[in-house]
Amino acid sequence: MSGPAAVFRDSTAPPAHRTRDLMARMSLAEKVAEVVAAELGPVGPEPLLAVDDGAAAAGPVGAGLLRVTGTDPAAVARAVDAAQRRRVAGTALGIPALPVMAAPLPGQEPFPPPLGLAAGWDTGLVQRVAAAVARRARALGVRLVLGPVVSVPGGTEPGAERLGGDPLLAAELTAAHVHGIQEGGQVGGAVLGLGTAADATAGERVLRTGLLPPARAAVLAGVAAVVPAGTANGRVPAHADPWLLRAVLRGEWGFTGAVIGDRAAVAGLHEPYRVAGSPDAALALALESGVDGFCPTGAGVPADPGPGGAQDTAQRLLRLVRHGALPEWQLDDAVAAVLTLKFRLGLFEDPFPRAAPGPVDATGRSVGRVGAAAGPPTDEKLLDAAVTGGAVLLSDPRRLLPLRRGRCAVVAVPDTEPDRAAALAAALRRHLTDRGVVVPPAGTDAARRGDPVVVVTAGPPRQVAAELTRLASAGLGCVLLLTGPHLDGLEAVLATLSGVLWCCGAGPATADRVADMLTGARTPSGRLPVSLGSDRGAGTPLGHGRSYAAFEYSGLLVGPERVRAGETVQVTCRVQNAGPLPGREVVQVYVRDRVASVVRPEQSLAAFSSIGLAPGEGREVRLLLPADRFAVWDRGMRRVVEPGTFDVLVGRSARDVLLSAELVVLPDDRPPPGRGAGLS
């Protein structure tokens, strides 16, 4: 029994002391259960695990992690509340579970997905949205929010769950997201995908330069948990990579949180990767490599009960320890990581949802007013900023935008999500026109009147290029409204001379705001958070985007003009809105290393700032470039700032450079760091 003097019950004791005291009181079965996740559906209840370790007093124990799903906020809050009360009152030690849920949470869907937020290039906005998600999570009893994915992809398939495709942009936004999620200390964030976005053979320099910076930024921001990617690099799966999970994550970066393994990815160590000879061996290998817990974090995970479920996983872990195939100290390390995280989040003091349970029907679903169980109401001003800030006007060669209300047609093109596109198109018609025109092959009322057509699709641009060409040949001006995360085929669409507005994740709930952007009541102010095509040639560059406002740049100052490693460079310029409409401009600073010891990109993003300006308003913008923005991983895999001449480029995108200056980096008198020291 715990007793009144139990240190783990003392909220004033350090988490490490509380963890040590609690683990001394736990049976092997309780330890095993602590690192597995049970699944809690939208109405519950979730059964307690019954892990038999042979002890005479063996009884039900609570799973340490609780994977929560559901779309009804009230039902989620009730299910979490009931599950936690069963654990606290119905198990020997009363250890609460750590409820885990993927963002977006119920009721939070109107906000753009991470990629849409990344298009705003606004760290403050990302932090505010993350804080809003955290408040809703805490209200529902969810204490660990999964996302975003931090492995930086390449090409035109960034995925809606990623905060951009540039290492610096993704790193800055990821850090802001972590600060927002964890600002109250009651909800932790988990970043997903530590590793590569797909199976790859990326070398260490590529990993450290282009793929891992967002994950490191999350760790430095204090992220509570990390989920390895379900992929392999250099033929080593991330869930079985001690170099990544122990040497880099914990050793170099100083990560002190929990590494939550994706249950399906751990099973994949046996099949299809075949680096483990059995499912049991896969569990042991993951723990040995640095995984602390096993939780379904993605699609394709077996449902409980059954192979791969919480009960099955716990029993197999127990067998591994009892048969000596898994050292108990490795299990203890994993248990300590999970328990310490619970203490840091205050779960033992207050494990229950803050939302009041509401009325339910016979199926357990809420009826009537949801009330407090829905969590905090959506911040409409924040939603305005997120939707408008993340909308990117990619092209408008014929100056079709802004449109005139009542003088356009809206159509949806079938794609991989036909219902989503059709629903948004229907909502837009109500805001833009009451004619509900559908465009058949022979032409329409819109064609006779010469009104433009808004074409809505949730699929990639390549799927609508032919349709846009057909409409243009009929004499119609076209504006393509893209709502999906995939941008492959964009260049072909731009060649049709259509206007293109990208609103990643837009749906009927935000149709009014999208309509306002199409008609000029709001100004889309996002910029492309990925680079499409080569950074040395054709393609759509990082940071590309247009505006209804017109911005002028002048007065570039870079100081000091000669610096040494360790010093910070200040870049200053003046930006003025010379147009008749208000708008936001994303000032971007790139650096070009004229000569380096290894091949570097033609230019690299070094700083950015999003500013709002009224018509005629001008402002001086100051951006700081720490010395590590000039660093390179040299031939000896040391991260150093090499002496030489750099070009500092300021403009609207990676290729729309308006101002430039020269900067000289002087030799560093300090001895170089050891191999692998530092990471960005």
Q: Is 539 within a domain?
A: no
Q: Are residue 263 and residue 395 in the same domain, yes or no?
A: no
- At 573-619, the pLDDT tens digits run 999 999 998 999 999 999 999 999 999 999 999 999 999 999 999 99
pLDDT of residue 451: 83
For the cut 90, the answer to whether the pLDDT of residue 445 exceeds it is no
Lowest mean pLDDT among 55-59, 267-271, 315-319: 55-59
CATH number at residue 501: 3.40.50.1700
pLDDT of residue 154: 56
- DSSP H or E segment with residue 189: strand 188-194
> Which amino acid, one-letter code, is at 272?
P
State how far the Cα of 64 lies from the Cα of 144, in Å rounded to an integer: 13
- DSSP H or E segment with residue 74: helix 73-90
For 408, the domain range is 380-528
From 528, 559, 582, the end of a domain falls on 528
Q: Is 542 within a domain?
A: no
For the cut 50, the answer to whether the pLDDT of residue 17 exceeds it is yes
pLDDT of residue 376: 67
Q: Are residue 69 and residue 166 in the same domain, yes or no?
A: yes
Q: Are residue 422 and residue 480 in the same domain, yes or no?
A: yes
Partnered with residue 569 across adjacent β-strands are 625
Closest CA to 527 of 410, 415, 450, 611: 611
Q: Are residue 457 and residue 557 in the same domain, yes or no?
A: no
State how far the Cα of 242 lies from the Cα of 240, in Å rounded to an integer: 6
- At 536-572, the pLDDT tens digits run 456 789 999 999 999 999 999 999 999 988 899 999 9
The tokens for 20 are: 């040590």
Q: Are residue 105 and residue 182 in the same domain, yes or no?
A: yes
pLDDT of residue 41: 73
Q: Is 544 within a domain?
A: no
Q: Please name the residues in contact with 649: beta carbons below 8 A apart, sequence gap of 6 or more.
A: 589, 590, 591, 592, 603, 657, 659, 660
Give the chain's domain count. Answer: 3
Q: Is 57 within a domain?
A: no
Q: Are residue 91 and residue 222 in the same domain, yes or no?
A: yes
Q: Are residue 431 and residue 506 in the same domain, yes or no?
A: yes
> Which amino acid, one-letter code, is at 379?
D
State how far the Cα of 380 lies from the Cα of 446, in Å rounded to an integer: 34
Bridge pairing between strands 236-237 and 232-233: antiparallel
Q: Are residue 305 and residue 205 in the same domain, yes or no?
A: yes
- At 333-347, the pLDDT tens digits run 999 999 999 999 999
Q: Are residue 80 and residue 220 in the same domain, yes or no?
A: yes
Q: Is 296 within a domain?
A: yes
From 326, 344, 362, the end of a domain falls on 344
DSSP secondary structure letters along 543-577: T--B-SS-EEEEEEEEE-SEE-TT--EEEEEEEEE
Instruction: List strand residue ranges (DSSP E) for 374-483, in order.
Output: 392-395, 409-412, 453-457, 478-482
Partnered with residue 99 across adjacent β-strands are 66
CATH number at residue 654: 2.60.40.10
Angle formed at CA 513 by CA 465 and CA 165, multiple of 5 degrees: 55
Q: How far is CA 189 from CA 73, 178, 566, in A?
A: 20, 6, 31
Q: Is 142 within a domain?
A: yes
CATH number at residue 307: 3.20.20.300
From 513, 528, 543, the end of a domain falls on 528
Dihedral sign of CA atoms 241, 243, 244, 250 in order: positive
Contact 295, 37 (CB under 8 A): yes
Q: Is 589 within a domain?
A: yes
Q: Please name the residues in contact with 540: beta carbons below 8 A apart, sequence gap of 6 or more.
A: 394, 487, 490, 491, 494, 528, 531, 532, 533
Q: Are residue 515 and residue 567 in the same domain, yes or no?
A: no
Q: Is 51 within a domain?
A: no
Q: Are residue 245 and residue 117 in the same domain, yes or no?
A: yes
State how far the Cα of 331 lies from the Cα of 90, in Å rounded to an integer: 24
Contact 654, 603 (CB under 8 A): yes
Q: Residue range 359-387: average pLDDT? A: 61
Q: Are residue 399 and residue 430 in the same domain, yes or no?
A: yes
Lowest mean pLDDT among 43-47, 136-140, 293-297: 43-47
- At 458-477, the pLDDT tens digits run 988 988 988 898 888 888 89
